[in-house]
Chains A and B, each alone.
Chain A
Amino acid sequence: MKRTVPLIIVMVGGILMMIQYFIPHQASQAVFDYYTEWAPIVGAFALVLGVGSLTRVHFHRIRRRSKNWPYSLAVLIPLYAMPILGLMVPVSLWGGMESPSIFHFLFMHIQVPIQSTMFSLLAFYIASAAFRAFRAKSALATVLLGSATIVMLAQVPIGEIFGPGLQDVGLWILRFPNLAAKRAIQFGVGFGILATSLKIIFGVERNWLGGAGE
């Protein structure tokens, strides 16, 4: 009941959908139509997992008054305020999801700038690592850095001053050797994904069952 039934569901669901692909018949199509209708509904609830663990971690921090606990309020308050303001309060400056509203404001003027700025920090870190850590320690690392330099120059207008050929070389690297490497990796990754799918469908890989008690 606890492990066997989920394993059966995975196996039946997986094999059914795999076979379904090859059968165009209306009965098979009906199975598929039910699936496309139901899966988003089930999938939508998966959000509960993330929200639940966030709530649990931060609620504990507040209750135990652990170090920096007030920041946990900064997680929990918007977490619950957003859906309440967006869905339950009538459309006004306070409620609703369209601009202007608190919901829209929190997303557009706090979430978006913070998240995009977070990622832009990496420009600084990459510069620092360029100086302090990227080493041509071996022939292979040298090839990597060389190819990177050519591509970096070829991608920006200033690359032109190093001669018109540089851009062509950069594009050539992208279109041929890069393509070869990525295609080979893709074959490997593709087979890896397929093998993992098989292992999960046939119950060889059961790690995903973990973390929910015995």
Chain B
Amino acid sequence: MSAVNFWGKMLNVDRRWIFLLIGVVSIVPFLIPVGMPLTTTTEVESIYDCIDSLGPENAIFLAFDFDPGTDAENMPMSVAVMRHAFFRHVPVFMTAYTPLGNGMMMSGFEYVTNQELPGCYTPVDYADWATYRDAGIVDRDGLVAAWEADGHSLPENSVGWVFEGRDYALLGYLPLFHLVILGMTSSIEAQYPEDSHGNPLVEMPMLREHKSLREVDLALTMAGSSACMSWIIYGREKIGLPIAFGVTAVMATDYFPFIQSHQIIGQMGGLRGAAEYEVLMERNGVSATTDKAFTGMDVQSAAHLLIILLIIMGNVAYFAGGFHKQHLMKSGR
């Protein structure tokens, strides 16, 4: 009986102790980083290779289809892809599925262009390079040359210029986004006459070159909900637009059938997927260092071990204490 009491007491421990445990396990590895190596999987590599094969003549869509709640998982992958595209000078159209996603798009762009962080990109607002545009200088190399010839130089931390309307366009949120995707299959500008800064899309060089989703080479949806399916149902199935997923870990397992059916070219699942992308970028010289996702992997390791230990201990206590016999009903699932 006393044994039962012991196990019972153990199981009924105040859960705040367990909270404390997981808190400690999640903080300590940050202070003592190990940086265990991470292997990459084909699901992520195929996205990386796809973007790596593109250049200034191509274009991608980066869809911020998540809310602040899953910021920690979706933001690192969005940031990684954005950096990779900027590095390869691939024009990036950015959209959002929800109003809150609009804010996430802004915040992701602000992070990549934060001049205080090493490895950032320096944005040039659409209005600031109007004179060059009017003079007909719209190809990337010519634009950078002309811009730098006029005395502009890259700030200390920056690794490159990005011109609004040439290298990126912040399109933002529209309601009933699945219809927006459908509409963009014939014309992007018809859906977004202006970007979220109020610049007319019709004048943007990147739009002149990519007028509809038919002329876009990849759409990446960074999703925290089933919003990503809209890109398949309305983009992929309508005009064959190649799609890649960046989804939260909770959803990731559901979309393996779509990889096997080639409806998506690849998938980043949760923080681990983002960390793999960062590793690929560092390995190939796209970025100097890895970022937040990879740093988080140590904690992820420690926390997974702790949770597995807790499950084992809990079950030992449960069965050793004989609690499994308490339910009078025939055993269920």
Contacts and interface: CB of A to CB of B under 8 A. Distances in A.
Q: Do chains A and B touch in the complex (CB under 8 A)?
A: yes
Interface of A: 35-36, 39-40, 43-44, 99, 107-108, 111-113, 115-116, 118-120, 123-124, 126-128, 130-138, 140-141, 145, 149, 152-153, 155-160, 167, 171, 174-175, 178-179, 182-183, 186
Contact of A141 (B13, B68, B333): B333
Given A135-B318, A140-B333, A156 B103 contact: no
B288 interface: no
Contacts of B255: 182
Interface in B12-38: 12-13, 15, 18-19, 21-23, 26, 36-38
B131 interface: no
Given A112-B103, A128-B18, A157 B308 contact: no
B107 A112 contact: yes
Nearest to B314: A131
B272 interface: yes
B26 A123 contact: yes
A128 B15 contact: yes
Given A141-B333, A156-B304, A183 B257 contact: yes
A35, A120, A137: which has the most chain B beta carbons within 10 Å? A137
A28 B165 CA distance: 34
8 residue pairs, one from A and one from B, having the closest CB atoms: A157-B36, A158-B301, A115-B68, A131-B310, A130-B310, A112-B68, A156-B301, A127-B22
Interface residues of B, number: 60
A149 B307 CA distance: 9
B304 A44 contact: no
Contacts of A115: 67-69, 71
B202 to A, nearest CB: 18
A160 B33 CA distance: 17
A160 B23 contact: no
B72 A116 contact: yes
Query: Binding site of A, secondary structure by majority: helix, strand, loop or mixed?
Result: helix
A152 B19 contact: no
A186 B36 contact: no
Contacts of B304: 152-153, 155-156, 158
B128 interface: no
A136 B180 CA distance: 47
B174 interface: yes
A182 B272 CA distance: 21
Contacts of A182: 253-257
A171 B174 CA distance: 37
Contact of B332 (A36, A116, A138, A178): A138
Nearest to A118: B69
Given A116-B68, A158-B305, 16 more contacts: A40-B175, A43-B175, A112-B103, A115-B67, A115-B68, A116-B69, A123-B303, A127-B303, A128-B15, A131-B310, A131-B314, A135-B315, A137-B324, A157-B37, A179-B256, A186-B257
A149 B308 contact: yes
B322 to A, nearest CB: 13
A105 to B, nearest CB: 12
